[in-house]
């Protein structure tokens, strides 16, 4: 006879086995911000399967994939309304091969595929871009049906859920997005979920989403970049590994100056936003490619600590932003000096205010010049900033206990 203790242990193990197997089979959500490309900024609804495939091809051929970019996200513009049974249709002229074939193609390149919907009845493009063929294509009333189709049948890995239709219906944001999140978890637990509400939704979003938009749509003007930075400045405490403030898709390579693009990219990296390119990758310039594949700056965004940079000093149009790397006591600190003005300016960086113990040497590396400065114990360092420009540094030294990064203020 089997001893009672052994018998009960066997029963316990057999009961637990399916859950252990499920945990092993379900890939964990990434703990660093998403990197990839999204269609909206450059194409709006003027997309098709040839354009989408070409972006996937270019991501591999240009070396962007090697630099860490791995998502090809399709935004609004693929919908074809619904049939008499309420089943979601695809725009036949734009995507004759269908959505599954496109996801399969993207996956064949070793990349991941993202898709789009709305929390209400109608999507943003059907309202604002007069893409009337997509009327009625939102999730409302079709949550389980559409999410099964998009995430399971078609095989997409990420979904962005907009709010235009939800706003038109005056839906309760927390309740509606929580409903959608619960469906996603049941249907495809590993799928990533973005709440696109155009403002910080509230603390409730942190519990249900991988990322959430904190502003209205970005445009390719430096004023827009600064506006979004300001909106995110005090939201650093809501960012953590795997759950980040989304500052919207990048406008790098879409008409701003080189210095403005560099400031834009640096601040999105420092502030832990998803890095989603929004330019046409088929025609990306060498200058833009070099900028967005700066692995030293990307590493700040992908740091496992997930600490969003904080604005530690503002003096007129000059600002100092900083974040610890690895841990708050590692002695590694990333710093961005930002010049919002249209004139060159000097900035004095006080190392003591960053929490460095100046009885020990520290070293500074300029991550855009890829240049190291000699070790020193100097209290301040002076830097010259170009108009609308940024200098991004990695400083290595010894931090004092209970430093600025371990305090709310």
| Catalytic residue chosen out of the listed positions 118, 131, 162, 303 | 162
Find out whether 73 and 38 touch, Cβ atoms under 8 Å.
yes
Query: Which residues, in sequence order, are CB contacts of 347 under 8 Å at separation 6+?
Result: 318, 320, 337, 339, 382, 383, 385, 391
CA pair distance 268, 226, nearest whole angstrom:
11
- 180-189: b (≥16 Cβ within 10 Å) or e: bbebbeebbe
Query: Which residues, in sequence order, are CB contacts of 273 under 8 Å at separation 6+?
Result: 33, 232, 244, 245, 246, 247, 248, 301
Could you confirm whether 217 is annotated as catalytic?
Answer: yes
Could you confirm whether 76 is annotated as catalytic?
Answer: no
Question: Tokens 């049948």 sit at which residue?
Answer: 153
Angle at 194 between CA 190 and CA 199, to 5 degrees: 155
Find out whether 349 and 362 touch, Cβ atoms under 8 Å.
no
Locate 251 and state its tokens: 């406008």
Find out whether 354 and 396 touch, Cβ atoms under 8 Å.
no
Find out whether 38 and 55 touch, Cβ atoms under 8 Å.
no
CA pair distance 302, 280, nearest whole angstrom:
24
| Catalytic residue chosen out of the listed positions 217, 348, 357, 366 | 217
Find out whether 221 and 246 touch, Cβ atoms under 8 Å.
no
Q: Please, what's the largest Cα pairwise distance for the chain?
A: 87
Pairing of strands 371-376, 192-195: unpaired
Phi-psi region of 173 (alpha: psi -120 to 50; beta: other; left: phi over 0): alpha
DSSP secondary structure of 31-60: SS--EEEESHHHHTT---HHHHHHHHHHHH
Catalytic residues: 162, 217
């Amino acid at each position: 006879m089997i001893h009672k203790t052994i018998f009960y242990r066997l029963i316990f193990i057999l009961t637990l086995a399916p859950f252990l197997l499920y945990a092993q089979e379900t890939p964990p959500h990434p703990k660093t911000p998403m990197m990839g490309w999204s269609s909206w900024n450059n194409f709006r609804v003027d997309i098709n399967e040839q354009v989408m495939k070409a972006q996937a091809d270019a991501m591999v051929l240009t070396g962007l994939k090697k630099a860490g970019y791995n998502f090809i996200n399709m935004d609004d513009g693929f919908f074809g309304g619904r049939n008499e049974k309420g089943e979601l249709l695809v725009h036949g002229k734009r995507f004759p091969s269908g959505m599954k074939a496109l996801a399969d193609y993207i996956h064949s390149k070793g990349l991941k595929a993202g898709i789009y919907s709305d929390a209400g009845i109608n999507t943003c493009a059907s309202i604002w871009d007069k893409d009337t063929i997509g009327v009625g294509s939102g999730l409302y009333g079709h949550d389980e049906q559409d999410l099964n189709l998009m995430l399971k049948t078609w095989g997409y890995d990420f979904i962005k859920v907009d709010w235009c239709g939800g706003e038109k219906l005056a839906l309760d944001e927390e309740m509606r997005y929580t409903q959608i999140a619960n469906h996603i978890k049941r249907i495809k637990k590993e799928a990533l979920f973005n709440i696109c509400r155009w403002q910080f939704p509230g603390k409730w979003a942190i519990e249900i989403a991988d990322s959430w938009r904190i502003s209205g749509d970005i445009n390719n003007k430096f004023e827009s970049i600064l506006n979004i930075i300001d909106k995110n400045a005090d939201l650093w405490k809501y960012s953590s590994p795997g759950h980040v403030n989304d500052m919207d898709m990048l406008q790098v390579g879409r008409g701003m100056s080189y210095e403005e693009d560099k400031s834009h990219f640096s601040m999105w990296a420092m502030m832990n936003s998803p890095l989603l390119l929004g330019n046409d990758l088929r025609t990306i310039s060498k200058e833009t490619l070099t900028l967005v594949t700066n692995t030293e700056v990307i590493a700040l965004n992908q740091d496992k600590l997930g600490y969003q940079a904080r604005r530690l000093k503002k003096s007129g149009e000059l600002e100092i932003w900083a974040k610890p790397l690895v841990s708050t006591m590692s002695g590694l600190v990333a710093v961005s000096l930002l010049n919002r003005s249209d004139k060159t300016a000097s900035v004095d960086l006080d190392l003591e205010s960053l929490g460095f113990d100046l009885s020990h040497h520290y070293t500074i590396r300029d991550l855009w010049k890829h240049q190291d400065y000699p070790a020193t114990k100097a209290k301040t360092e002076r830097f010259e900033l170009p108009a609308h420009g940024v200098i991004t540094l990695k400083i290595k030294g010894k931090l004092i206990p209970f430093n600025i990064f371990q305090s709310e203020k």
